[in-house]
Structure 1
Amino acid sequence: MKPILTIRKLHVAYGHVHALKGINLELHAGQITALVGANGAGKSTSLLAISGLIKAGSGSIEFDDQDLLTLAPHHIVQKGLVQVAEGRAILGTLTVQENLDLGSYTRKDKAHVAADLDWVFSLFPVLKNRANGLAGNLSGGEQQMLAIGRALMARPKILLLDEPSMGLAPLMVREIFRIIKEINQTGLTILLVEQNVKQALKIAERAYVLENGEMVLEDTGANLLNNPKVIAAYLGT
């Protein structure tokens, strides 16, 4: 089956720091693909390159028969690749509803926006209950829900999630991963970047391990969860 997105020999550098060293990655439609590794491995850089927020030195990122490296970030969003940033990046001085409205800003199918809002509220009932309140007054977990909900309002073809469990309490972490799985069951393709390796591999069909800017392992999530190298490096005994 042809991948929905293909990364080939991608290099990214920040000055003299070679952040990505020729990585290859494929996403298949309807799957959760996890990209895991230690802090500083290049995971977030990979997402930023896909989103066009940083420029690659060389390589290609192909989606819908076009190299995304030639497109501006807003055009990449319009093509259907939407990122939930690390740290959530919600607009705290706007209401919950206004944040969600911004998610659908680029859409032209306004008749379907209301239906998608209902779906987001069904996924995150707390957002419906606090729709008119300031987003900055939400808890960390609620802000993560809002960030995901705002991205869904763009009706993405691929959802890019950057560390969605970061800084959350264990109960909220489990809830966020449950919701990610539920979103994926609608058929949405997801690329999940996570330091919580165990939780990410549990829900991912495919997964990649990134170390120091290089892909060192690729397999099913289940196989990597039981891989001795992964266990030793990330999961403990």
Structure 2
Amino acid sequence: MSAVLEVNGLEVKYGQVEAVRCVDFSLEAGSITALVGANGAGKSSTLLALSGLVHKAAGTVRFEGEDITRLPAHQVVARGIIQVAEGRCILTRMTVRENLELGAYRRRSSGSPQDFDYVFTLFPRLKERLEGLAGNLSGGEQQMLAIARALMAKPRLLLLDEPSMGLAPLLVQEIFRALKAINADGLTLFLVEQNVRQALRLAQRGYVLENGSLALSGTGSELLNHPRVLQAYLGV
């Protein structure tokens, strides 16, 4: 497989604070790649930099061979890189249908029946609550809606920031099953997670971020069995 995204020497700073330091990684087309680490390691800052939502102090980002390092966020989205934000960020005073329709806004349509059928196959609960307010959904259902809304944009690369955060174990399993199905349909996923075990079980490749720098990389199974990961993140 070829690399769909290549990141070299990425640095992100907030004033004098270095959140991400000289990070290099690549995402293979059609794969799931996980970026794991403790809270405050720089994972979300990495995603925000890829999306053009925070300034890159240094480094380059290439997507499908194009240098997108300095593109603003709306142009990154136009290239097909869609992020599911930490905390879901759904529009709570709008209906589930309206949230999904807004996901397709860059396509100059509200989504085709086939688009709706696809997300309902992944998340049947959304169909049951289609005309209800998004703010009345449970936390797990809101996360399903956030992912479904992103899929309505027909992404070429899906970035997910802590999709399991705050969810009960059964709902976490449901979300990860959906991500596996989405990837099986050919979509490249970049998953940022504190739930190291779940993320590395799902991912073909993973990176461990510590204090803003990459500490380890390898296949998901390799990292799951790495002594440093076992001790620091899995309590073994």
Q: TM-score range by the shorter chain?
A: over 0.9
Match in the other structure for 2:19: 19
Match in the other structure for 1:119: 118
Shift of 1:51: 0.3
Partners of 1:113 and 1:153 within 8 A in 2 = no
Which ranges in structure 1 are unaligned for 5 or more consecutive residues?
Answer: none
Find the aligned partners of 1:113 and 1:157 in 2 and give their Cα distance.
18
Find the aligned partners of 2:54 and 2:12 in 1 and give their Cα distance.
8
Cα offsets for 1:26-79 (capped at 9, x unmatched): 000110000000000000001000000001011001002222222111111111
One-letter identity of the residue aligned with 1:154? A
One-letter identity of the residue aligned with 2:35? L
Partners of 1:97 and 1:132 within 8 A in 2 = yes
SS of structure 1 residue aligned to 2:38: coil
Which ranges in structure 2 are unaligned for 5 or more consecutive residues?
Answer: none
Partners of 1:23 and 1:214 within 8 A in 2 = yes
Match in the other structure for 2:65: 65
Match in the other structure for 2:142: 143
TM-score normalized by structure 1?
0.97
- Asked if 1:130 is matched to 2:158, the reply is no
Partners of 1:144 and 1:164 within 8 A in 2 = yes
SS of structure 2 residue aligned to 1:19: strand
Find the aligned partners of 2:132 and 2:51 in 1 and give their Cα distance.
30
Shift of 1:16: 1.1
Find the aligned partners of 2:120 and 2:74 in 1 and give their Cα distance.
26
SS of structure 1 residue aligned to 2:121: helix
Which runs of structure 2 are paired with 1:1-237 in the superposition (5 Å)? 1-108=1-108, 110=109, 113-237=112-236
Equivalent residue pairs, number: 236
Superposed CA RMSD in Å reads: 1.1
Give structure 1 regions of 4+ aligned residues with deviation exceeding 4 angstroms: none
Segment drifting more, 99-108 vs 111-120: 111-120
Partners of 2:61 and 2:68 within 8 A in 1 = yes
TM-score normalized by structure 2?
0.98
